[in-house]
């Protein structure tokens, strides 16, 4: 994205933040309303973990947009994001273990959506705080094929902070 203007990039970051935030209700509506999965504790925990990571992603894109407002501005909230990187691990481990226990404890499969959502939250955490797993453009796909996974934007920002 180095060929893009600062104004274009700020608009793009605003769109990314809005999409992440809009994704929160989508992650609830699809499994629970459209697909009719039960509102069990493991399923709700899985959803809560996904929602938490999407809100953190929204916060990052907003902070990145603020950072790009002027030269030399540090990433707002860098310390918060650094703390979340650690706190998330604890929450994700507990959530995945709870969902695994629920799947093993019930024969009807009603907790499987919670496990799937919790694992999705793990991938969101990795995507934001470690390596970029998601490709948002053909340029991202080309880079992935050529160079493999690259460090996530937030991970690079935290390393600089």
* Distances 64 to 10, 43, 70, 128 between C-alpha atoms, Å: 8, 32, 11, 13
Question: What per-residue confidence (pLDDT) applies to 5?
Answer: 83
Q: How many C-beta neighbours within 10 Å does residue 41 have?
A: 12
**Model pTM score:** 0.89
pLDDT at 52 over 60: yes
Residue 63: exposed, middle, or buried by beta-carbon count in 10 A (0-12, 13-18, 19+)?
Answer: buried
- pLDDT tens, position by position, 64-86: 999 998 888 899 999 999 999 99
- pLDDT tens, position by position, 98-142: 999 999 998 888 899 999 999 999 999 999 999 988 766 677 667
Question: Scanning the structure block, which residue is given the tokens 């934001």?
Answer: 128
Contact between 50 and 27 (Cβ < 8 Å): yes
E runs forming strands in 7-155: none
Could you give the CA distance from residue 138 to residue 102 in angstroms, rounded to a whole number?
39
Summary mean pLDDT of the chain: 91
Record the tokens describing residue 24, joined without a space. 């929160």
Could you give the CA distance from residue 67 to residue 135 in angstroms, rounded to a whole number?
23
Q: How many C-beta neighbours within 10 Å does residue 3 have?
A: 6
């Amino acid at each position: 994205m180095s060929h893009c203007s600062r104004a274009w990039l700020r608009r793009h970051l605003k769109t990314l933040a809005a999409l992440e935030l809009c994704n929160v209700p989508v992650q609830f509506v699809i499994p629970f309303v459209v697909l009719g999965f039960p509102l069990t504790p493991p399923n709700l925990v899985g959803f809560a973990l996904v929602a938490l990571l999407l809100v953190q992603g929204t916060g990052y894109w907003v902070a990145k947009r603020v950072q790009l407002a002027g030269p030399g501005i540090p990433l707002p909230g860098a310390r918060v994001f650094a703390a979340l990187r650690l706190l998330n691990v604890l929450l994700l481990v507990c959530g995945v273990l709870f969902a695994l226990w629920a799947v093993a404890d019930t024969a009807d499969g009603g907790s499987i959506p919670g496990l799937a959502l919790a694992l999705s939250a793990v991938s969101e955490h990795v995507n934001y705080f470690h390596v970029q797993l998601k490709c948002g453009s053909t340029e991202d796909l080309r880079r992935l094929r050529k160079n493999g996974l690259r460090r996530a934007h937030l991970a690079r920002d935290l390393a600089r902070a």
